[in-house]
Amino acid sequence: EPPSWVADSLPSLSVESENLQKQIDELASFSDTPAPSVTRVLYTDKDVMARRYVKNLMGLAGLSVREDAVGNIFGRWDGLEPELPAIATGSHMDAIPYSGKYDGVVGVLGAIEAINVLRRSGFKPKRSLEIIVFTSEEPTRFGIGCLGSRLMSGSKALLKALETTVDSQNITFLDAAKYAGYAQDSVESVFLKKGAYAGFVELHIEQGPILEEEGVSIGIVTAIAAPASITVDFEGSGGHAGAVLMPNRNDAGLAAAELALAVEKHVLESGSIDTVGTVGILQLHPGAINSIPSKSHLEIDTRDIDEERRNVVMEKIRQSAIRIAKDRGVKLAEFKIVNQDPPALSDESVIRAMESASKDLKLSHKLMISRAYHDSLFMARVSPMGMIFIPCYKGYSHKPEEYSSVQDITNGVKVLALTLAKLSLK
């Protein structure tokens, strides 16, 4: 059982909620799209400004701040036994185009406030507490999600891929990192040493409707679904949209459209509500109304809590891409699995710490899975992991209507603070 917090110190867990909301609003202003949307893409000027803003808050919280070669930011509060593996918490603050201001941010600014709450309560950690702001949790710029945490967990495949990865403007990952002031050391130096952390807990909005619908204050995540993404390119001979007769066409755009519907078909065939899939990116070349698409590029996102079932869907999508190319006389120029990750399970002792913190705070709570992926998916490979969810309005996320109330955020910060305290004393 995690050491139960000395009950009489509970009242002193005071969160400066208004200040935290102000910080969330200020951070949202570092955006490449107008409010209420937020767009903050890896290594852009807005990302660099946001990093500076958060590092400053870490400094004000008395944390010692450092960054690794790809810009994962670490803020550390040394414990009484600093040689022991630390307890970490954190999340991301990059935001996909036209998204909201809470995804990731609640787990970054909320973590800094949780440290302030513990300091104000006079708590002294035994194990050091460390906040991590992960670089590029979103796949927006380089097509791979959880870039920073994936590297920290020791992904040699990603290390290799980054040597040739470019963004949509043909800028290499290394050049982009250097532009933002990183990549002075080798990217491999990002790999965490074994046993670097004795636990990792991430506070995040649910990005789903369950907690709000059931009126539950806290979600205790038991598992994170298995994400995968695939990029596909078709090539045809294109031509004049009026002059080429139908039997002589091999329309790369229609091949893409047929494959997108095949993704939906294969997902629905899985027989489980837990299997999901969509085509979030579909580009046609040359993109003129009266020119038959000669190239099409699709990016497919498919997930499931059951890894095997998800892999079956991916194989069916591959078979469909081959069949569609043959039927339509187009070339399947690329079928690339960008990532095909296993699910992650939360650690039992971290789950118990989160449950006992919720009970101490008399907050309703429930065990649940995360259908969104998070940096926790990779931290689980190098440390016992747990996630704390708070409700968000209608489950909205990855769109400007994303919203969590000050009360829900405050609850999340208190559960996080108490969980970190319990884990730090173990």
Which residues lie near ligand HGY (CB under 6 A)? 137-138, 145, 372-373
Query: Of 137 and 299, which CB lies nearer to ligand HGY in the complex structure?
Result: 137
**Coil vs helix vs strand at 375:** coil
Stretch that binds Mn ion, among 81-89, 103-111, 190-198, 399-407 (CB under 5 A): 103-111
Query: Of 68 and 103, which CB lies nearer to Mn ion in the complex structure?
Result: 103
253 binds, among Mn ion, ligand HGY, none (CB under 5 to 8 A by kind): none
Query: Of 126 and 371, which CB lies nearer to ligand HGY in the complex structure?
Result: 371
**Coil vs helix vs strand at 280:** strand
Query: Of 105 and 284, which CB lies nearer to ligand HGY in the complex structure?
Result: 105
Query: Of 103 and 355, which CB lies nearer to ligand HGY in the complex structure?
Result: 103
Which candidate, 145, 285, 163, 164, places its Cα nearest to that of 228? 145
145 binds, among Mn ion, ligand HGY, none (CB under 5 to 8 A by kind): ligand HGY
Backbone angles phi, psi at 297, to 5 degrees: -130, 120
Query: Of 387 and 420, which CB lies nearer to Mn ion in the complex structure?
Result: 387
Question: Which of left, alpha, beta for 207 (phi over 0: left; psi -120 to 50: alpha)?
Answer: left
Please pick, from the candidates 2, 104, 199, 293, the single residue that binds Mn ion as defined by CB under 5 A: 104
Cβ at position 95, least distance to Mn ion in Å = 8
Query: Of 239 and 400, which CB lies nearer to ligand HGY in the complex structure?
Result: 400
Stretch that binds Mn ion, among 96-104, 261-269, 278-286, 306-314 (CB under 5 A): 96-104
Q: Residue for token digits 């209420």?
A: 36
Contact, 244 vs 291, CB < 8 A? no
Q: What is the dihedral of CA 403, 415, 60, 78, to 10 degrees?
A: -140
Say how far apart CA 329 and CA 350 lie, in whole Å. Answer: 54
If binding is defined by CB under 5 A, does position 103 make contact with Mn ion?
yes
Q: Residue for token digits 């993404």?
A: 229
CB atoms within 10 A of CB 239: 16
Please pick, from the candidates 374, 387, 391, 424, the single residue that binds Mn ion as defined by CB under 5 A: 374
Cβ at position 239, least distance to Mn ion in Å = 40
235 binds, among Mn ion, ligand HGY, none (CB under 5 to 8 A by kind): none
If binding is defined by CB under 5 A, does position 47 make contact with Mn ion?
no
Stretch that binds Mn ion, among 12-20, 100-108, 309-317, 349-357 (CB under 5 A): 100-108
- The number of residues that bind Mn ion (CB under 5 A) is 4
If binding is defined by CB under 5 A, does position 90 make contact with Mn ion?
no
Cβ at position 102, least distance to Mn ion in Å = 9
Cβ at position 234, least distance to Mn ion in Å = 28
Query: Of 47 and 137, which CB lies nearer to ligand HGY in the complex structure?
Result: 137
46 binds, among ligand HGY, Mn ion, none (CB under 5 to 8 A by kind): none
Stretch that binds Mn ion, among 277-285, 345-353, 354-362, 367-375 (CB under 5 A): 367-375
Which pair of structure tokens corresponds to residue 59?
Answer: 């400094």
Cβ at position 255, least distance to ligand HGY in Å = 26
Cβ at position 134, least distance to ligand HGY in Å = 11
Say how far apart CA 39 and CA 29 lie, in whole Å. Answer: 10
Long-range contacts of residues 172-180, Cβ cutoff 8 Å, at least 24 apart = 173/142, 176/42, 176/43, 176/141, 176/142, 177/43, 177/69, 177/70, 177/71, 179/43, 180/43, 180/47, 180/48, 180/51, 180/71
Say how far apart CA 387 and CA 347 lie, in whole Å. Answer: 10
Is residue 111 classed exposed, middle or buried when 0-12, 13-18 and 19+ CB atoms within 10 A define those classes?
buried
Say how far apart CA 203 and CA 416 lie, in whole Å. Answer: 7
Query: Of 47 and 355, which CB lies nearer to ligand HGY in the complex structure?
Result: 47
**Coil vs helix vs strand at 279:** strand
Cβ at position 340, least distance to Mn ion in Å = 17
Q: Applying CB under 5 A, which residues contact Mn ion? A: 103-104, 372, 374
